[in-house]
A and B are shown apart, each in its own frame.
Chain A
Amino acid sequence: MNALLEVRSLRAGYGAVQVLHGFDMRVNEGEVAVILGANGAGKTTTMRAISGMIQRKGSIVFDGEPITRTPPHEIVRMGIAQVPQGRGTFTDLSVADNLRAGAYVHKGIHIESDMREWYDVFPRLSERREQKAGSLSGGEQQMLAIARALMSKPRLLLCDEPSLGLAPIITQELFAILQRLNTENGLTILVVEQNANLAVKIAHSVFVLETGSIVASGTADEIANDDAVRKAYLGY
């Protein structure tokens, strides 16, 4: 399998506080990978380190190119899009303008046809395309955040806790869409989650993060059968 993202001894943090203590991770092309971890384990920090939002040490290689020192706006252009935690929709822009903003790195004329493509995947966004994003429900905003990230035509989609604050039924719908994006569009996805049950179901590989280190990793089946992990994260 071809590694799309390869992380080696990744260390990162905020100022004097180190959060990630040097771990390795590999996401293969066409896979859904999931990082499980409790609050404060370093999940969001990992995401921010990959997308270049914070200082990081070690090595991050995306599609054969080192990006450890690349600034975030160039990382997007290389094909990594992030759905930030808590959605981060632009509340004062319309749904359509949120999507156009998502295509910021593309100046081309394909933007409008790309938008129609994602309106088909997220029909509710189409109905509300001229409404301000701030007027959408939490679930719709999460859909919008994902559609907006997709507008940059990424090869790797980073999703930071997409289930945060959403009703279980909406979360299920969301994961079904993520799975569809993976199987139908061949998108590689790295999801960070606390909702382990749902995430492991759509995952090919799983990493368990505890206080800044990966303590277990393997295929989804291996992790689901690991007693310690199952007790801690899957709750049975």
Chain B
Amino acid sequence: MPTAIKESSPPHWLARILAVAVLAALALYIASSAKPSTLGNITEACTLAVAAVALNLLLGFNGQISIGHSTFAGLAAFTAGYSVNFWRWNPYVSLAVGLVLCFVLGLALGLPALRLKGPYLALVTLAVAFVWPTIAAKFLDKKVKASTLKGTKLQPPTWTGLTNSRPDRAVFLYWLAVVILVLAYVIVRNLRKSRIGRALVAVRDNETAAAVMGVNLKFTKTVTFGISAAIAGASGWLTAARLDRLDENSFTILNSIKYLLALFLGGAATLAGPIVGAFVYYFVDDYLKTHAPTWHWLPGPISKGPVASFLLGTIVIIFVFIAPFGLVGFIKDQVRRVFVVTPRPLKQAVASPELIEHTSDATAAESSAQD
């Protein structure tokens, strides 16, 4: 029998506080001890995680698929690169403007999403992801291509005590990525736990029922698309902050597929899923890319050609069979065998029989008044 923990009881709170403390300590420890290259990897994983969190809001909670999220990341990245290099904008202003642009483009893409569902919506967003590199190439000359936020443009503020040296920059970008990831997580978490979040899931589970409960379908679906697009834009801005150069192939459909993979590996429609998935995906991919080509024990045809992608694909297929609800779903199932969180007891509803009487009296009085 699993041990029962009451919701919001001291042990439950203790477990929550402990989890946050461990994560915070881990983040600090990494910042102080990791090599710049490792920090760079973690920053990249965080960037992927932000995009996966964005997609989770749209696909996991609202049930709208998008294979076009790479476009939003690209839009924000190029907006930042262009405005900072050619108009001398503050990098953070370029972030804000990029997010607004992504939100608007997301709203616009949300409009066809009102009529299209599932594979059809996937097709439309796929087309957008396909078109984006061409559009990007048209509008970018060589100078713009090379312009990211790298170098002197995005510097650690002086109060951090960090200089603009390579190791210090790595630490700065790492914290920037962590902060944006935490913000994205908190935004999606608070949305999910609120009245709006219940409406999102309601729309996903049953549109008709959601509509007859008073949820405005058009508004909910388009605004969700917009918010998700803006969060994906934050991920694109982080990419622009980290890379030396961007070109039209920096944000292709492959990026969108990565976001999807990270989301489903971690567990769609769970809050932690996209983050766990992004980190696992990134580091497994990274590990395979560096090590797999040297594994000579692999049978002949496999060891030739792109071994890493082959192995990664195989792992994903096996994983989906073992844990169809993602890593977080899998872990939750295991934890449930040891601990279960039982709901808070209802406050004793002493007043409720009176309440019912009261309501009926009121309604009766109302109807007799109208008679």
Binding site for B on A (CB under 8 A): 1-2, 29-30, 51, 53, 71-73, 76-77, 81-82, 84, 88-93, 96-97, 100-102, 104-105, 107, 113, 116-117, 119-121, 126, 129-130, 145, 148-149, 152, 184-187
Q: What B residues does A113 contact at CB under 8 A? A: 351-352, 355
State whether A116 and B352 are in contact (beta carbons under 8 Å apart), knowing that A29-B367, A90-B202, A92-B205 are contacts in the complex.
Answer: yes
Residue contact A101 to B213, C-beta cutoff 8 Å: yes
CB of B352 within 8 A of CB of A184, answer: no
Chain B residues packing against A (C-beta within 8 Å): 195, 198-199, 201-202, 204-206, 208-217, 269, 342-343, 346-347, 349, 351-353, 355-356, 359-360, 363-364, 367, 370-371
Q: Are A101 and B355 interface neighbours, CB within 8 A?
A: no
Known interface pairs A97-B198, A104-B199, A186-B367; A92-B212 also in contact (CB < 8 Å): no
Are B199 and A116 neighbours in the complex by a CB distance under 8 Å?
no
CB within 8 Å for A117 and B215 given contacts A2-B370, A92-B205, A104-B199? no
Question: Shortest Cβ distance from B152 into chain A, in angstroms?
Answer: 49
B364 A186 Cβ-Cβ under 8 A: yes
Contact of B212 among A82, A97, A126, A129 (CB under 8 A): A82
Query: CB distance A104 to B209 under 8 Å?
Result: no
Contact assessment for B349 and A76 in the assembled complex, using a CB-CB cutoff below 8 Å: no
Among the interface residues A84, A100, A149, which one has the most CB atoms of the partner chain B within 10 A? A84
Q: For the complex, what is the distance from the CA of A145 to the CA of B145, rounded to whole Å?
A: 55
A85 → chain B closest CB, angstroms: 9
Is the beta-carbon distance between A100 and B346 smaller than 8 angstroms? no
Task: Give 17 new A-B contacts, CB below 8 A, not counting A76-B214, A93-B198, A102-B213.
Answer: A2-B371, A73-B214, A81-B213, A88-B206, A88-B208, A91-B205, A93-B202, A93-B205, A101-B199, A101-B210, A101-B213, A104-B199, A105-B214, A116-B347, A117-B356, A148-B213, A149-B213
Interface centre among B205, B342, B349, B364 (most CB of A within 10 A): B205
Nearest-neighbor residue (CB-CB) of B349 within chain A = A116
Partner of A104, one of B195, B343, B353, B360: B195
Residues of chain A lying within 8 A (CB to CB) of residue B213 = 76, 81, 101-102, 104-105, 148-149, 152
CB-defined contacts of B360 to chain A, threshold 8 Å: 184-186
Residues of the B chain whose Cβ atoms lie less than 8 Å from the Cβ of A152: 213-214
Q: Are A185 and B201 interface neighbours, CB within 8 A?
A: no
